[in-house]
């Protein structure tokens, strides 16, 4: 378990709201040319010239979206940024700015918020986005964190969920189910820790999947790869909820059907072995486990040579006419209708 190693605990009340904001945000620098003015005035000022602007917000609530028993605050800050950048990349856009709003109870010392902001700062630096504002307020119980991400894209490059057409290939990046299985391991260790706080868990066999849960990476690299490969997906969505429900979103909004192939779903060996250990079906996890933050997209078959053999991409199925419905073709060749949730092992 992650212990609280903070020695000093500075009461938030000592700083006051403005002192706190200043303390947390003083290191942020502006890097993008579209950011005219960042933190410090009543509003940030942005100039995107002739680009289209994409905006997305996600809120993370303690006890609902994260558990501080195993989620270090630095990772939480990093992940909150990733979750939002992933939505910007899913539009085939470049992420440029974020705002960060938090509601925090006085059970958190200043040092906790410093850790949270260290994660935000690291994410902003690596992904080259400017932190241009936010809001800070108190909460009676836990921690609530809301990030808004802003991005830019040429109007001709925007990719929506709605553009898939019959015969397009369905492609995913990376591998699936890791974040969910990482969460299962962390939940199990939390229970063990409750019974025996002295226990020293061996998490070595699970490092990859725990990292997938605690420190996901949004696929900025894939958006850049699309540019260099000269590929524009016909539709795209990010995988926050699992392959099944995200594929259904794409198909519904594109007014098409699909076939996904069970034997094509990319799984890391650690996901497979952990699924065996927990006696869970790995396909079920890939279809319904969330938080992988990979991209799911469709391309015209004519673009296949451009992505063929690239280790970032796996073709998992085809788009069909709407009448064909949305099907998973199992390893045994049986066709099963996709479900958004409550998938039962077959």
Judged by the rule CB under 6 A, the positions of this chain that interact with ligand ADP are: 21, 25, 39-42, 100, 102, 131, 133-136
Binding site partner of 39, from ligand ADP, Mg ion, none, Cβ cut-off 5-8 A by kind: ligand ADP
| Least distance between ligand ADP and beta carbon 99 (Å) | 6
Q: Which is nearer to Mg ion, 20 or 307 (CB)?
A: 20
Minimum CB–partner distance for residue 40 and ligand ADP (Å) = 5
Rounded alpha-carbon distances, angstroms, from residue 71 to 4, 136, 191, 256, 263 = 11, 21, 15, 39, 33
CB of 101 to Mg ion, least distance (A): 8
Q: Distances from the Cα of 243 to the Cαs of 216, 224, 325, in angstroms? A: 17, 23, 16
Residue 339 class from Cβ within 10 Å (0-12 exposed, 13-18 middle, 19+ buried)?
Answer: middle
Closest CA to 202 of 214, 217, 215, 192: 192
**Smallest gap, in angstroms, from Cβ of residue 36 to ligand ADP?**
13
Exposure on the CB side of residue 277, measured as CA atoms within 13 A = 13
| Local structure of 250: helix, strand or coil | helix
Whose Cβ is closer to Mg ion: residue 26's or residue 308's?
A: 26
**Chosen from Mg ion, ligand ADP, none, partner binding at 169 (C-beta under 5 to 8 Å by type):** none
Residue nearest to Mg ion (CB): 135
Give CA–CA dist 46/65, Å, rounded. 31
Give the shortest CB-133-to-ligand ADP separation in angstroms. Answer: 3
133 binds, among ligand ADP, Mg ion, none (CB under 5 to 8 A by kind): ligand ADP
Q: Which of 67, 135, 224, 321 binds Mg ion (CB under 5 A)?
A: 135
Instruction: Tell me the C-alpha distance between 262 and 259, whole Å.
Output: 10
Which residues contribute to the site for Mg ion (CB under 5 A)? 135
């Amino acid at each position: 378990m992650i212990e609280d190693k903070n020695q000093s605990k500075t009461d938030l009340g000592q700083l006051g709201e403005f002192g706190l904001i200043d303390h947390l945000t003083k290191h942020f620098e502006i890097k993008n040319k579209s950011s005219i003015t960042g933190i410090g005035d009543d509003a940030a000022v942005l100039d995107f010239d002739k680009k289209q602007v994409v905006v997305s917000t996600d809120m993370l609530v303690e006890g609902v979206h994260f558990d501080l028993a195993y989620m270090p605050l630095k990772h939480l800050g990093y992940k909150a940024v990733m979750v939002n950048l992933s939505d910007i990349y899913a539009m085939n856009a470049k992420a440029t700015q974020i705002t960060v709003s938090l509601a925090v109870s006085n059970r958190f010392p200043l040092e906790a918020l410093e850790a949270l902001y260290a994660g935000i700062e690291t994410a902003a630096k690596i992904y080259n986005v400017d932190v241009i504002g936010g809001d800070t307020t108190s909460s009676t119980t836990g921690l609530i964190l809301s990030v808004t991400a802003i991005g830019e894209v040429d109007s001709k490059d925007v990719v929506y969920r709605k553009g898939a057409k019959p015969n397009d290939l369905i492609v995913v990046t990376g591998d699936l189910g890791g974040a969910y299985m990482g969460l299962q391991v962390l939940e199990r260790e939390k229970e063990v820790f409750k019974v025996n706080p002295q226990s020293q868990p061996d998490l070595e066999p699970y490092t990859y999947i725990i990292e997938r849960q605690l420190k996901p990476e949004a696929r900025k690299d894939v958006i850049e790869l699309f540019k260099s490969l000269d590929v524009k997906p016909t539709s795209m969505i990010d995988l926050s909820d699992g392959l099944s429900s995200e594929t259904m979103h794409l198909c519904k909004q594109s007014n098409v059907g699909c076939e996904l192939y069970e034997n094509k779903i990319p799984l890391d060996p650690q996901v497979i072995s952990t699924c065996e250990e927990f006696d869970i079906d790995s396909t079920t996890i890939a279809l319904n486990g969330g938080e992988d933050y990979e991209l799911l997209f469709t391309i015209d078959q004519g673009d296949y040579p451009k992505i063929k053999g690239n280790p970032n991409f796996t073709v998992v199925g085809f788009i069909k006419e709407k009448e064909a419905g949305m099907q998973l073709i199992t390893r045994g060749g049986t066709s099963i209708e996709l479900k958004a949730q409550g998938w039962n092992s077959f």
